[in-house]
Structure 1
Amino acid sequence: MKTADPITTEVVRNFVIACAQDMNAALWRSAYSAVIYEGRDSAVVLLDEKGNMLGQSTGVPLFVGAIDACVKLVLARYGTDMAQGDIFILNDSYLQGTHLHDVTAVGPLFHQGELVGFGAARAHWQDIGAIDPGSTMGSTSIFHEGIRLGPTRIVKEGKPIPEWYDLLTRNTRLKTMTLGDLNAQISAIRTGEKRLSGLLDRIGVDTYRSACANIFEQARILDIEAIRQLKDGTYYREGFLDDDGVTTDAVKIALTLTIAGEKMIIDLAGTSGPVQGSINCGAVQTESLLRLAYKTMINPDRAITGGSFSTMEVRIPDNCLLNAREPAACEWYFTGLGLLGDLMISCLGEAMPEKATAAHYGDSMVAAFFQMDKGEDSWISVEPTAGGWGGTNGGDGESALINLVNGGFRNIPAEVYETKFPVRVEEFSLRRDSGGAGRWRGGCGVTRTYLLLEDCYGALWFERARTPAWGLAGGQSGAGPVNDILAPAGEAEHPLKMRARAFRKGTRIVTRTGGGGGYGDPLARPVGEVLDDVRAGLVSVERAWSDYGVRIAPDMSVDLAASRPRAAM
């Protein structure tokens, strides 16, 4: 067997990442739904013939750490019963961990008749046949949430299997869009096969496999070295979700992190058991989130591969909402993952204080609108909203940044939104006073106001009011989310979570996302930086005084004589 030298290994390392990016570009350019081609609610990976990850694209990072599990499920079911041109899909929440909208397509990649790897593309399908169009906020069982598929072959040797395509289109309200998005995922996989074959023509399969083995081993060694440098100990954090969307009871998320030598053990004992609402999450996706939080702190500059996370052991109790079992509802599976990520990063911050960071706003904070009574002109908009991230020892938190779970996901631009949907985005601005005060201020959330231009349905899912983004080292917590529904007749409501309901033309829905936690004593923030925040509209004159002890004069200058003395940091 030919072995790969260090230069060839680096060529292959960069190739597999570039290949995955090319695959994702094919997906984005071919997709029918705006949530994919504008929002980027997708992820694409290239894997070896055993289902080990080699290269991943930008997109939703939460998906990346779990797609390899999907490929291995396909391998377990079909084994060697695969041919060039085959495509398999699955979306079962208990197998792949997410809600049923996230459909993973998997294709074996062959070179000169030999299986050399897999391409996989996960994307959010807008409608999967649930009790409500788009994403239902009211499900209490997986059977309310749409069609559910284990590993299923839908294309054989390049030819679609008509029975499966018929089944898929009978279980969606958006037939053309669903088939378009599926074909875009297939296009991504075909792109990967073409790119990989080009490389293998040049260096051969044996050299390629040797380079992949080198990449895996390097990742394993780097992780071991990084964990050995951390302070041994046991660290515990807990927080509470607002509710499960059905009851008003708080839902506990608990995490214990133990570091011993080169081993890291994460135990979720103490987390609430399965809940009635739809925030249960499959174990595969829970572990993927913990990998993501790990990666933000441990060797973040190196890509995830099949050799990553060998030092990490995850223990999830059987009777836990983060280890969902049938028939638990999973539509809003990611609700607890934002908080879980903050808890994990907070524990790691204690073990590596030079990287400690305050918590971020945490939730996807979704506003959804739809009208399905217009035939081919029916429409659905479902998108997350950006918010504030936590301050660090040396820097303010980022404002208007998507949450940890969603990564590369983007808001649909207002111009595109207003072109595609009968909704006007009247305001999209930074939310003043939402960032937690500190020597380094937390980032600000955003205000987004929607004016409905026709009768339609709307739904909301906002989280983290009970446990908003906490501060560190004396920094204050960020603001939690707030929503207003303003009816044309003047009535006002303020729900954070709301199942889809009808609204009249002229209704305004104002959403305000949470801010990030502050870091350090607010009285240590220089007066000049506080003044800059006030002038930029990030902090009000009133909060400059109450939070920072800085008195702002009517001419927008600092009244030093009336301001409080600054603290040492």
Structure 2
Amino acid sequence: MTEQKQIISAVDAHEKYGFDLVDLETLRYGLIEVARDMHETLMRGGFSPIVRDVRDCTAAVHVRTDAGWEMAASWEGCVQHAFVSQHIANFVMDEWDESILKPGDVIMVNDPWRGAVHCSDINLLMPVFWHGEVQFLLHTTSHVADMGGPIPGGFANGTQTCFEEQLKFPPTLMYAEGVPVRPVFNYILENNRVPHLVLGDIRALSGALQVGSRQLTGVLDRYGIDRVKAGAAYGMDVTEAAMRAGIAAMPDGDYRVSDFLDDDSIDPVPVEIVMTVKVRGDSMEIDYSGTSRQPNGNVGTAWIESTRAIIGAKFILDPSSPVNSGTLRPVEAIMPPGSAVCVLPPSSCSNHVDTGSRIVNLMTQAMAVALSDQAIACDSGTAGMMNIGGIDTRTGREGTPWATFSLPGGGWGGTWKSDGLSLCLVSMGNCRSSVQEHVERENPVVVWEHELMPDTAGAGEHRGGSGSLYTVEALAPTVVTITGDRIRAGAPGVQGGGTGMPFYGWLLHDLDPSVAMDSLDYTGAEPLFGIFDDDGRPDPDHGEFGKGAKYQTGKISQVLLAPGQGLRLIVGGGGGWGDPLRREVDAVLEDVDDGVYSAEFVERAYGLVFGADGTVDREATAVRRAELAAAREAGEWKVPTACSPNFRGSRTVKEVSA
């Protein structure tokens, strides 16, 4: 890891950029403040919980340079947006006739092959003129609640082409000189399940651009175009130097890793993603050669993995400097056309989340190989995302369309310094979970549980973070799309650490909160997906994938809930770092006291021995740990995958139906 340091003297700065170093520092942070003001305006003005609560949105400032449009500053809620923002700006401006742009014009695009992450993400770009020429582009983006198509919420699991998905827009004029282009608005709103939410979010996106334009124009008026552009160049150069310093600290070499998505939502065959990280000096190349062909289902992505992999490297190598174009400069990517990371149209690519999560996991695995002890284990690799919506039937709200978005989240992996973070979203997004009180106030659902789930964190000298338990009940007929992965295997550990719990889901019939809130009792629950033993209990090490479950995938569309029915998800924790037999006994006992682990699980994974009075026998524990270490050396024992030994009451689909 690197710390941000001064990379240039005041004399050299004046010679290179032509201005005082104090002004350059002021302006690089001034541009960040413009992006921050845009982002905060967007969040305050957003109508849907996706913007207002989840922070699935970003703002950026792009500057014209000899290399094209470069991102001078960003303020991310959803970090992946900041990494793709610069490319979206270039895709749009390469295609748009710049000579017809006018002040107040706003261009909208959501086409994945023209830069957008997926069709659910609306991108708005506004030019900022200086003396009649476009010198800056302001950019706001947000995931919206719906953009039409057959699947509410846009994650079109089970589709094969983009024609079966949402409305897809090439660069389109949305505001002409500040005036809404009515046909565009009408087309979006009349093909939308929740037009009131989407209209509110579009207006918030546009309003944030107005704020940014006013702020940036004020900076230009005060400092002048040459000084502001010099500050932008300086800021990007500072970040580039920090990123290059982080890469240079890695040993030169080719670091090849691979991992699998469970399936593509159509075919049960796992999708392999191969990544070779090539480090030479202060530069890095990410090569995806060997990755599976583009899938039939919707998990492939159009191009965005060229930048999203950098998120994992940024976290580890350069966590301090702001994200801008300089972050991207030292990295090149090779993506075979027609592969899972570079699908060709008209392939479906609405579910970018699972692929992106795995890409960041792969980069952290490659860093673990390169940096050895200074490794980070994988996060949960899935957000357990749910798109929920329908038509309200409650008295006084009959016929009202509604939609909400849930990200239960999991755990991050353990590191060489500390345990992983618990109950948080995958690092690719860096978003927040929904505010459940808002969800219940605005929609006909009750969120009965969103809490830490015991025995989900991968065991280790530094354990992974714990995953989550999420239970929701429908109060009106409800349609749910579940988008998740890591069902076949949880998040892997590093340096001898254990695997986090995989992803599980159940349908709860006639949900009675007075008896159904026991996180370990699944009497009457219908297993939707997971790895189960013969009695229907979760058992990732000895059970069978999909045994007794309704689905053989965690990417499901159109799950119908009647009033009184519910869903329960368990999103696994992060992988562990290091040998769990070396974790301090007191730290393990603290985990038991805190509800991170059960006593039964730590006996299996950490070798603790408890006496009849419930206290740990330290001498017997030392002996037991030595026995387990010897058994592991002989290939007779391995660190168990995180999972509670105390599940009870589960039934198979056949038993539930009967």
Give the TM-score taking structure 2 as reference length: 0.83
Corresponding letter in the other structure for 2:22 = I
Q: 1:314/1:350 Cα in 2 relative to 1: closer, same or farther (>3 Å)?
A: same
The aligned runs of 1:262-411 (5 Å cut-off) are 262-283=282-303, 285-353=304-372, 355-372=374-391, 377-407=400-430, 409-411=431-433
Q: Given that residues 278 and 331 in structure 1 are in contact (C-alpha distance below 8 angstroms), is that contact kept between their aligned partners in structure 2?
A: yes
**Matches of 2:459 and 2:405 in 1, distance apart?**
32
Q: Given that residues 456 and 500 in structure 2 are in contact (C-alpha distance below 8 angstroms), is that contact kept between their aligned partners in structure 1?
A: yes
| Residue equivalent to 2:53 | 38
| Residue equivalent to 2:452 | 430
User: Does 1:122 pair with 2:141?
Assistant: yes
**Matches of 1:216 and 1:555 in 2, distance apart?**
62
DSSP-derived class of the 2:389 partner: strand
2:110 pairs with 81, 87, 91, which one? 91
**Matches of 2:192 and 2:335 in 1, distance apart?**
34
| Residue equivalent to 2:575 | 517
DSSP-derived class of the 1:396 partner: coil
**Matches of 1:2 and 1:159 in 2, distance apart?**
39
| Residue equivalent to 2:557 | 499
**Matches of 1:183 and 1:209 in 2, distance apart?**
29
**Matches of 1:294 and 1:97 in 2, distance apart?**
22
Q: Shift of the alpha carbon at 1:493?
A: 2.8
Could you give the per-residue CA deviations for residues 28-76 of structure 1, whole angstroms, max 9, x where no partner exists? 1111111111111111111113521111113111111111112112221
DSSP-derived class of the 1:66 partner: helix
Corresponding letter in the other structure for 1:549 = G
| Residue equivalent to 1:221 | 241
Q: Shift of the alpha carbon at 1:457?
A: 1.6
Q: Given that residues 446 and 474 in structure 2 are in contact (C-alpha distance below 8 angstroms), is that contact kept between their aligned partners in structure 1?
A: yes
Q: Shift of the alpha carbon at 1:307?
A: 2.7
Q: Shift of the alpha carbon at 1:204?
A: 1.0
**Matches of 1:2 and 1:359 in 2, distance apart?**
41
Corresponding letter in the other structure for 1:302 = S
DSSP-derived class of the 1:237 partner: strand
How many residues are aligned here?
A: 566
Q: Shift of the alpha carbon at 1:421?
A: 1.4
**Matches of 1:203 and 1:437 in 2, distance apart?**
55
DSSP-derived class of the 1:428 partner: strand
| Residue equivalent to 1:74 | 92
Corresponding letter in the other structure for 1:508 = G
DSSP-derived class of the 2:622 partner: coil
Name stretches of at least 5 consecutive residues in structure 2 with no aligned partner: 1-15, 512-523, 530-553, 630-658
| Residue equivalent to 1:7 | 22
**Matches of 2:585 and 2:567 in 1, distance apart?**
36
Q: Bigger shift: 1-10 or 476-485?
A: 1-10
Q: Given that residues 109 and 119 in structure 1 are in contact (C-alpha distance below 8 angstroms), is that contact kept between their aligned partners in structure 2?
A: yes
Give the TM-score taking structure 1 as reference length: 0.95
Name stretches of at least 5 consecutive residues in structure 1 with no aligned partner: none
| Residue equivalent to 2:43 | 28
1:134 pairs with 153, 164, 168, which one? 153
| Residue equivalent to 1:551 | 609
**Matches of 2:472 and 2:588 in 1, distance apart?**
31
| Residue equivalent to 2:618 | 560
User: Does 1:248 pair with 2:263?
Assistant: no
Larger radius of gyration: 2
User: Does 1:473 pair with 2:495?
Assistant: yes
Q: Shift of the alpha carbon at 1:534?
A: 0.6
Q: Bigger shift: 346-355 or 66-75?
A: 346-355
| Residue equivalent to 1:171 | 191
Q: 1:80/1:554 Cα in 2 relative to 1: closer, same or farther (>3 Å)?
A: farther
| Residue equivalent to 1:205 | 225
Q: 1:113/1:448 Cα in 2 relative to 1: closer, same or farther (>3 Å)?
A: same
Q: Given that residues 365 and 384 in structure 1 are in contact (C-alpha distance below 8 angstroms), is that contact kept between their aligned partners in structure 2?
A: yes
| Residue equivalent to 1:526 | 584
1:452 pairs with 474, 496, 501, which one? 474
Corresponding letter in the other structure for 1:415 = E
Q: Given that residues 436 and 476 in structure 1 are in contact (C-alpha distance below 8 angstroms), is that contact kept between their aligned partners in structure 2?
A: yes
Q: Shift of the alpha carbon at 1:131?
A: 0.8
**Matches of 1:228 and 1:454 in 2, distance apart?**
57
Q: Given that residues 133 and 372 in structure 1 are in contact (C-alpha distance below 8 angstroms), is that contact kept between their aligned partners in structure 2?
A: no
Could you give the per-residue CA deviations for residues 138-161 of structure 1, whole angstroms, max 9, x where no partner exists? 322101111111111121111122
What RMSD, in angstroms, separates the aligned Cα atoms of the two structures? 1.9
Q: Given that residues 95 and 282 in structure 1 are in contact (C-alpha distance below 8 angstroms), is that contact kept between their aligned partners in structure 2?
A: no
DSSP-derived class of the 2:576 partner: coil
Q: Shift of the alpha carbon at 1:350?
A: 2.4
DSSP-derived class of the 1:48 partner: strand
Q: Shift of the alpha carbon at 1:259?
A: 1.1
| Residue equivalent to 1:51 | 69
**Matches of 1:19 and 1:539 in 2, distance apart?**
45
Corresponding letter in the other structure for 1:531 = L
**Matches of 1:223 and 1:501 in 2, distance apart?**
44
Q: Using the aligned pairs only, state the percent identity.
A: 27
DSSP-derived class of the 1:533 partner: helix
DSSP-derived class of the 1:399 partner: coil
**Matches of 1:351 and 1:210 in 2, distance apart?**
36
